[in-house]
Structure formats: C-alpha cells, structure tokens
Amino acid sequence: MTASGVAGDGGPPTTTAGPQGLDELCERFAAVCESAVDPLEISSALEFDGLTDQAARRLYGLPHVFALAREMYLRVPRRPAEPAAEPDPWRSDALRPALHGLLYGLPAVCYPAAAGLLTGPHVVRTLILALLASWSLSQALAYLGYRRLGQAGPGQSAMLMQAGMAAGLAGVAVVLAIGRLFVHASPPAFVFGFGLGAYMLGATVLLVLGADHLLLVGLAPGVLGAAAFLALGRPAGLAHAAWAAMAVTPLLVAGLAMKRARREARLGGTGRLIIAAELWGMLPSAGFGLVAAGLLAFPAAAGLPGHHAANTGAVLASLPLALSMGAAEWLLVWFRRRTQHLLRQTQSVTAFAIRARLALLAALAQYLLISAALIAIAVTIAEAARLVQPLWAVLPESGAYLALGGAMFLALVLQAFGIRGLPVAACAAALAFEVLWRGLGVPGQVASSTALLGVLAGYSAVHMGSAVRHAL
C-alpha cells in the first residue's frame, strides 16, 4: 500500500514497506516481542538496533518508533521464554549430613566407658551443668560464625570464632567453678564436664569452617579407646588407659579448631572483631541451646518418680536422637530445595502455600521415620544386651523422645528461615512444665513433648506457606 506525506514532516512523501515489511520486522524481533511486558521494551530494542522515528515514518508509515513498537506488540502474541536455570544454592553432598550425624552421636560412646571415673554424689548434676553451658555457648558461637561467614567470608568468620572459642572455654570454666560451690561432686567429674565443653566448642568451629574431617580425626582417640574398653568388658587394668584416650579427644579437637581458625584468619581476618548487632543476635541461639539441652537431659537426670537411679529409657533414646540430627540437616536442605523449585514452578500463591506445607509435612514424616528406626535399633540392641527388661518398659519414653526430636527438627527449620523467638519460647515452656511437674514422670514428658511438637508444627505450617518467607 502507499502512504501520503505525514503532516508537519516538511519532507517528501514517504512510502511504507507495507504489511509484509512489518511482518518481517516482527519476525526479526520475535524473541523480544514474545517476552515483552509492554511496548516500551520493544521500542528500546528497536532504538538500540538503530531504528529512528524518521525510519519508522519512511519504512512503515507510523509516526514514531513507539507507535511501531505498539503495533508489533499487538501483532505478536506473548510467549515468554523460560529463564535459564540458575545454579541450585541448596545442592549438597548427601554424605556430609550422614557424617554429621555420626559426629553428633559418636561422643556418646565415651559416657558408659567413663562410668568408673564419674562416680560419687552429684555427678549427673555436674554433667548436666556442663551440658547446659556447652550447648548454649556453642549455639551462640555457631550463630556468630555462620553470620560472619555469609557476610564477610571465611577469614572474618575464623577471626571471630577464634576469639569466641577462647571466650566460650572461659565461660564453661566459670560456670563449672560456680557450680562447684553448690554441687559437691568429685574433681574428675568437673574435669570431664570441662572436656565436654572444649569438645563442643571446638567441634562447632570445625563444622562452621567446613573442616569435618579434622573433627573425625579428633574424635578417633576417645571413641576408639572407649569402644575397645567396653568391648573388652571394662578391664580394671585398662581403665586409666581408656580415660587417657578419652582425654585426648577434647584437647585434640580444641587444638585443631584453634589451629584451623588461626590459619583461616591469617588469610583474610581483618577488621572489627564483633559488633553490637551480632551480640544481640546471638542471644536467641544461646537461649535455644540452653533449653534444648535441658529438654534432652532433664528426663535422664530426674529419673523416674520413686527411684533414685537414672531414667534408662531416656538415656537409651538420647543416642539415636543425636544420630538423627544428621538426617534433620539433610531434610532441611531437601525442604529448601523443594520450596525453591515450587517458587519457580507455581503460579498461584494459594497453590504454593499448599504445596510448601505438604513438603514440610513430608520432611517431618521422613525425619520421624528415620528417628523411629534408629530408636528401634538402639532398643533392640539394649534388650539383646539385657540393658533393659522388659522391652515395653522403654516404649513410652522412646515415644516422648521421638516427639521431642520432631519438635527439634521443626525448630531447626524455623530458625533456618529467621524465626528464632517462638522456638525458644515454646521449648522453654515445655522444659518449665517438665521441671515443675516432674512428679508426673514419663506421662508428663510425653504430654510436654507432644504439645511442643503440635505448637511448632502449627506455627511452621502457617509461616512456611508464605512465598515471601522462602524468597528471602
């Protein structure tokens, strides 16, 4: 077709390339037109290609480039191309969480081997005191280390953790020194408690810095010595050798942690050591470590109503629960990968909320199945070794610890998404219930753990259904 001169142009009449020419232009810019959200994107591409308003009038009979872009936008249907797949930030080695599970559970082998060393009154109270101090300080140190690692890199994280570990060791020593004024246990019990703190703080540093293999090296003397001592039937002549092997582990782990942190700090550890925001931020982590340790240890320490001995069922269930933390770590990564996939694939906010909650339910169900299997294995071995008789006597306690493990997994999920206040408050309330109504015994622990699991499950379901929460 032909076009007359454009009014006000001042030039000769222009001739367009006709519909065929415009179709060719649309085909040439098809990728831009199909993915454009408005004509401005197309006009920008045309101008970048060198097409001017004068060319739009001369070739296509349209007053300017924007009018041409609008015509192209109307002609070409929207078929946006799928964005290139981004690297998965949550891809991890499946063996690493399994190794972490062993690292969490293996130290428990040292406790029965050290029974001859840990004799006398108030030993359990001393160890509980050491456990509370060690868990709270190591959780605070882990928070500081991971926060600085994400913000400033391994050098800065190592510098902070080096100082934090020294402060944590001093803190454990002060807590035990104060405790000795009120708990008159034997000196070896306090030494063992300090060794527990040294191991946990050193292990935290090595795990944050990614030196898992060094932690395995540090564990080897104590675990192998304790296992051999137990396998041989605790011969009196080897007691001191076994205790010496167990003493090597906390010293070696702490030494390896300090050496690794010092090396990393030399590579990039400059700047301010710590800021006020980090100190405030670590308080919920320290509080969670304190109440979580209390929930795990109190049933074993309190025993059963009317009995002075330790609660065998609680002691028996604590080891599989420690081992299950490796599975919890892996399932947390699985859940985050699943929700990131849902963010890319789901177009409805409501559909995302439903699928994200189903993914959380699947992760919790998998964790409970793995934990139940580990507890069943431990109970079966204990029955075969005649450590528990009859078998059904420890089932309620095992069920309580299974519910507690599920609650700890959900608390881990919430904290990973930046929700830290509610898990601490809920766990503290559950611990307070068990302490205040300890006369209820195992039924009280079952009620407390089940209620805690229900509260955290409901809270998690509400918040994990928010797409914004997963996009942060």
93: alpha, beta or left, given left = phi > 0 and alpha = psi -120 to 50? beta
Q: What is the three-state SS of 126-184? A: HHHHHHHHHHHHHHHHHHHHHHHHHHHCHHHHHHHHHHHHHHHHHHHHHHHHHHHHHCC
What is the per-residue pLDDT for 396?
83
CA angle 289, 295, 296 (to 5 degrees): 90
What is the per-residue pLDDT for 438?
83
Cα 122 to chain center, whole Å? Answer: 34
Whole-angstrom Cα distance, residue 156 to residue 161? 9
Burial bucket for residue 366 (CB in 10 Å: 0-12, 13-18, 19+): middle
What is the per-residue pLDDT for 305?
44
What is the per-residue pLDDT for 83?
62
What is the per-residue pLDDT for 424?
95
| Phi, psi for residue 4 in degrees, rounded to 5 | -80, 170
Whole-angstrom Cα distance, residue 54 to residue 68? 12
Per-residue pLDDT 10s for the chain (472 aa) are 333 333 334 333 344 445 557 888 888 898 888 888 888 999 999 988 888 888 888 888 889 999 999 999 998 888 876 666 666 555 666 567 767 766 777 776 676 677 666 776 677 778 888 888 998 999 999 999 999 988 888 889 999 999 999 999 999 999 999 998 888 778 888 888 899 899 999 999 999 998 988 988 999 999 898 888 878 888 888 888 888 999 999 999 999 999 999 999 887 766 677 888 888 989 999 999 999 988 988 876 665 444 444 555 666 667 778 778 878 888 998 898 899 888 888 878 889 999 999 999 999 999 999 999 988 887 777 677 665 555 666 788 888 889 999 999 999 999 989 899 999 999 999 999 988 988 888 888 889 999 999 999 999 999 999 888 887 6
Residue 342 near residue 356, CB atoms below 8 Å: yes
Residue 193 near residue 126, CB atoms below 8 Å: yes
What are the Cα distances from residue 413, in Å, to 363, 408, 419? 10, 9, 9
What is the per-residue pLDDT for 354?
93
Whole-angstrom Cα distance, residue 452 to residue 430? 6
Whole-angstrom Cα distance, residue 394 to residue 101? 23
Q: Nearest Cα to 148, choosing from 263, 273, 261, 256? A: 273
Q: Nearest Cα to 397, choosing from 293, 457, 320? A: 320
The string over 334-360, giving b where at least 16 C-beta atoms fall within 10 Å of a residue's C-beta and e elsewhere, is bbbbbbbebeeebeeeeebbebbeebb
Whole-angstrom Cα distance, residue 402 to residue 369? 9
What is the per-residue pLDDT for 137?
94
